[in-house]
Amino acid sequence: MQEHPYSAFRLGDVRGIYPDEINEFFVQKFAMAFIRHFELEGIIAVGRDMRESSLSLQNALMDAIQQSGVRVHDLGLCTTELGYFASTTQSISATIIVTASHNPGAYNGLKCVLQNGIAVTYDTGLAEVEHIMSQMADPQQGPAVDITDQRVDDMPARLAEDLHPAYIRFLKQQFPIDTLSHAELALNGLNGTAVTLAGELTKELGLPVTWFRKLPGPMPSQGADPVNPMLTRQMKKYMSHQNYDLGIAWDGDSDRCVFFDSLGDLIPSYYIIGLLAESYLQQYPGAAIVYDTKLCWNTEKVISQYGGKAVRSETGHAFMKQRMRENNAVYGGELSSHHFFGDFHHCDSGMMAMLRMLQILKRTDATISELVAGIRQNNACTPEISLSLEEPERAFSELARYYSANATDVYHFDGLHFNFDNVWRFSITQSKTEPMVRFNFETREDGDSLLSNALEVMDRISPFMSDETKIADLLFIQ
C-alpha cells in the first residue's frame, strides 16, 4: 500500500488547495471509495459552503454518488451543522459537506459524518478510503466518473427538500423563546454560510440583530477565522457604531462561534468554555465534559467544582465527537471555538453555542463582561500563537530538553505540555488542518510574569521560525 498518496487527507477530515490537492476528479473518486468502504445505501446528504470552487465540487461529488447507485439529498448552500442534523434524519446514511472551514479561499475540503453524526477520522475509515482511491485509475487517464452513457431515468433520485425549517423547529424546541436574553446582538457572518441558518432563526426567535459581513461570499482574503486579529479589529470597529450588548461571529461554515463584549472586544474562547461547562453541570450535576488540553486549568476547576467527569480530547471536531459519544458527555469545548452538545448527537453547533449563551445571560441577568470578570480574577492566558516552523519535531525536542528539568509535570497528549509548580504552564500542538504549530500559555498568578515566561519560550524556538513574526506584538494577557 502506498503511504499517504493524497496530501489532502488529514487526521480529522479532508482539506487541501484547489485544484492542486483537491479537485473534481478527487471528490468523485472519494465518493466511490467512501461508499464502497462503508457499504453505504439509502441516501447521502451533500452540502457546500460559499467558496468559489464549492459548487463545482459538490456537483461532481453528487454525480459520483448517484453513479454508485446511491440517492443524493442536495442540501445546497448550508452550514456544516445542517449537515449534521441531516445525518439524524431517516434514511440518510451519511453526510458530506464541501468546505474548508476557516481556511483561505484557495482551500477546499470535505467534512464527513455517518448516520447520527458519527465522525469519520483517518483512524476510523479515511485511511481505508484513501487506500481504495489509490487503487483507482489515475485522473489523467480520463474522468473518474463517466455518466455520459447512463440514462437519466436510470440514475438514483436526487432530492432537494430544504431542511432549514425542520432544524429551526428543533432548535426552538431546545431553546424556548422565553428562556433567551433579548440583548442587542451584532452578528458577523464573515461572508460565510451563517446567515443561511441564523438569519431565519433569529427572526423566528424575535432576537434584535444587525449583521456585519452578512452575505455568503466573497470570503475575506485572509480566510474566515473569527479570531484572526485583523477580523476582530473590524468587528470592534463595527460594534463601535451602535450600542450592542453582545457580538457573535462564526467561521466560514459556521460551526465555530466566538463572542464579543459590549465594547467589541473578543472574549477568549477559553473563558466561554468555562461558562458553558458550568451552565451544563448546573443542569446535569456530575455529567461528563470533554475539553482539549491546550488551556485547561479553569475548565478542570469548573468540572471539579460541580463533581463532573473531566474527559480530555485531542483537538479536532472528529476526535471531540468521538470522546463526546464514548462518554455520553453533555458538553464539549475546544479552544478553537468549536462547541459540542450532547443533545445534538454530540456534534458541534455554532447556533446552539449562541442560544446557550443567551440562556446564560437571561438566567444570570449579567453581561458577558461581568461573567468573565470572575474567571479572570483567578486565571490569565495569552492568545494562541500559531507559527510555521522549520523542522517542528526538532523544535519540540529542543523545548523538551530545556524545560523538562524544571517542570513539575511534562506530559504528551495531542502535543507537549509543561506545568511549572501549578503556577504557569504552556502547551505546543501541531495543527491537524494547517502546517502550523500552536503555542498556548496560562497562569494562576501574575500576568506580567506569564508574558516574561512566554517570551523566553518563543526565544527558544526562534531558530526554527520560518518567518520574521514579531512575537512580542502577539503576546498579551487576555
Reported in sequence order, the residue ranges of 100-189 that DSSP labels E, i.e. its strands, are 107-114, 158-159, 185-188
Instruction: Report whether pLDDT(103) > 70.
Output: yes
Q: Which fold has domain 165-377?
A: Alpha-D-Glucose-1,6-Bisphosphate; Chain A, domain 3 (3.40.120)
Residue 164 has phi, psi (to 5 degrees) of -60, -45
Give yes or no for a contact between 272 and 358, defined as CB atoms under 8 angstroms apart.
no
What are the C-alpha distances in Å from 4 to residues 1, 11, 98, 121?
9, 11, 21, 14
Alpha helical stretches, state H, 284-407 = 297-305, 317-327, 350-364, 368-376, 392-403
Active-site residues, by number, are: 101
Give yes or no for a contact between 31 and 68, defined as CB atoms under 8 angstroms apart.
yes
DSSP 359: H
Instruction: Report whether pLDDT(224) > 90.
Output: yes
**Across residues 196-222, what is the average pLDDT?**
95
* 350-385 pLDDT tens trace: 999 999 999 999 999 999 999 999 899 899 999 999
Range with the poorest average pLDDT among 110-119, 131-140, 242-251: 131-140
* 302-343 pLDDT tens trace: 999 999 999 999 998 888 999 999 999 999 999 999 999 999
Peptide bond into 19 cis (omega under 30): yes
Q: How far apart are CA 388 and CA 365, in angstroms?
A: 43
Q: Exposed, middle or buried: residue 409 (CB in 10 Å: 0-12, 13-18, 19+)?
A: exposed
For the chain, the structural domain boundaries read 14-162, 165-377, 380-474
Q: What is the DSSP string of 42-66?
A: SEEEEEE-S-TTHHHHHHHHHHHHH
Q: What is the pLDDT of residue 205?
A: 97
Instruction: Report whether pLDDT(137) > 90.
Output: no
Handedness of CA 355, 357, 363, 366 (dihedral sign): negative
What are the C-alpha distances in Å from 447 to residues 64, 230, 388, 406, 452?
55, 24, 26, 20, 9
DSSP 463: G
Q: What is the pLDDT of residue 446?
A: 81
Q: How far apart are CA 391 and CA 93, in angstroms?
A: 41
DSSP 244: -
Buried b (16+ CB within 10 A) or exposed e, 284-316: beebbbbbbbbbbbbbbbbbeebebebbebbbb
CATH says 14-162 is which class?
alpha beta
Q: Exposed, middle or buried: residue 210 (CB in 10 Å: 0-12, 13-18, 19+)?
A: middle
Give yes or no for a contact between 21 and 7, defined as CB atoms under 8 angstroms apart.
yes
**Across residues 21-38, what is the average pLDDT?**
98
Q: How far apart are CA 92 and CA 252, in angstroms?
A: 24
* 61-102 pLDDT tens trace: 999 999 999 999 999 999 999 999 999 998 899 999 999 999
Q: What is the pLDDT of residue 221?
A: 86
What are the C-alpha distances in Å from 219 to residues 8, 108, 259, 398?
21, 13, 20, 38
Q: What is the pLDDT of residue 3?
A: 62
Buried b (16+ CB within 10 A) or exposed e, 353-373: bbbbbbbbbeeeeebbeebbe
| Sheet strand arrangement including 331-333 | 309-313, 288-292, 331-333, 339-341, 347-348
Indicate whether this model's pTM tops 0.75.
yes
- Residue 387 sits at the vertex; the CA angle it makes with 470 and 335, to the nearest 5 degrees, is 110
Give yes or no for a contact between 300 and 310, defined as CB atoms under 8 angstroms apart.
yes
Q: Exposed, middle or buried: residue 454 (CB in 10 Å: 0-12, 13-18, 19+)?
A: buried
**Across residues 223-242, what is the average pLDDT?**
95
Give yes or no for a contact between 103 and 58, defined as CB atoms under 8 angstroms apart.
no
**Across residues 189-213, what is the average pLDDT?**
98
Instruction: Report whether pLDDT(448) > 50.
Output: yes
Residue 200 has phi, psi (to 5 degrees) of -75, -35
Please provide the average confidence, as pLDDT, over all residues in the chain: 93
Q: Exposed, middle or buried: residue 132 (CB in 10 Å: 0-12, 13-18, 19+)?
A: middle
Q: What is the pLDDT of residue 470?
A: 77
The answer to whether the 14-162 and 380-474 domains have the same CATH topology is no
Q: What is the pLDDT of residue 106?
A: 95
pLDDT band, residue 12 (cuts 50/70/90): confident
Instruction: Report whether pLDDT(148) > 80.
Output: no
Q: Which CATH number fits domain 380-474: 2.160.20.70, 3.30.310.50, 2.60.40.10, 3.90.650.10?
A: 3.30.310.50
Reduce the DSSP state of residue 465 to 3 states and report it. strand
What are 119's strand-pairing partners? 113
pLDDT band, residue 147 (cuts 50/70/90): very low
Q: Please provide the size of the chain in residues.
A: 478
Higher per-residue pLDDT: 41 or 140: 41
Q: How far apart are CA 272 and CA 293, in angstroms?
A: 15
Instruction: Report whether pLDDT(144) > 90.
Output: no
Q: What is the pLDDT of residue 390?
A: 87
* Contacts of range 366-373, beta carbons closer than 8 Å, 24 or more positions apart: 367/245, 367/261, 367/262, 368/246, 368/259, 368/261, 368/262, 368/267, 369/261, 369/262, 369/263, 371/275, 372/261, 372/267, 372/271, 372/275
Cell numbers 453547533 correspond to 349
